[in-house]
Copies of this chain bind each other. A is one copy, B any other.
């Protein structure tokens, strides 16, 4: 018996490894150890090595946010999409038990490798949220400010809940942020 993978099966496993160990901390041996996938397979699917693996993970994350968060914010009913965002974000980050890889990469030298992907992720999030806020009745400048504060607050909540090892901090922060945005669209 031989377990056969596809690229699409591997990326989520890689994602979890990079999340837990960071880019530099995720060595090839630790990756094979945690994912159960040997070097042979890894380099078969990702000839560009570790950098291509991390790039694939970022692309996967981006695709998920695009369809689950950004697109609804841009196209669907504004209030409904914003409400769904808080729920989906709380689920995605496992109530603070999972970090944002994009944010983590931004903090150290790894940013240099994925500069545009990292910037894009946040720019599009803020723009999509801002668009929804405007459709919900906010003025343009206020929408922009609130969107930035919202995304900012999510990242802070992830850092804080990891530091305090307390998922309640994350969920509580999301609630507070949600209430503030809702109050501003009334």
Given A156-B155, A163-B106, A22-B20 contact (CB < 8 Å) = no
Give the Cβ gap from A138 to chain B, nearest Cβ, in Å: 15
**In the complex, which range does the number of interface residues on chain A fall in?**
35 or more
A119 at the binding interface (Cβ < 8 Å):
yes
Residues of the B chain whose Cβ atoms lie less than 8 Å from the Cβ of A152:
153, 156-157, 159-160, 169, 173
A108 at the binding interface (Cβ < 8 Å):
yes
Give the Cβ gap from A157 to chain B, nearest Cβ, in Å: 6
- A118-B123 Cα distance, complex, nearest whole Å: 29
Of chain B, the residue at the smallest CB distance from A105 is B163
User: Are A164 and B111 in contact, CB atoms less than 8 angstroms apart?
Assistant: no
- A172-B147 Cα distance, complex, nearest whole Å: 13
A9 at the binding interface (Cβ < 8 Å):
no
A142-164 contact mask (Cβ, 8 Å, vs B): 1 or 0: 00010011011111111110111
- A22-B109 Cα distance, complex, nearest whole Å: 8
Selected contact of A107 from candidates B99, B115, B153, CB within 8 Å: B99
Give the Cβ gap from A144 to chain B, nearest Cβ, in Å: 11
User: Are B162 and A25 in contact, CB atoms less than 8 angstroms apart?
Assistant: no
A104 at the binding interface (Cβ < 8 Å):
yes
Interface set of A (CB-CB < 8 Å, partner B): 20-25, 99, 102-104, 106-111, 115, 118-119, 121-123, 145, 148-149, 151-160, 162-165, 169, 172-173, 176
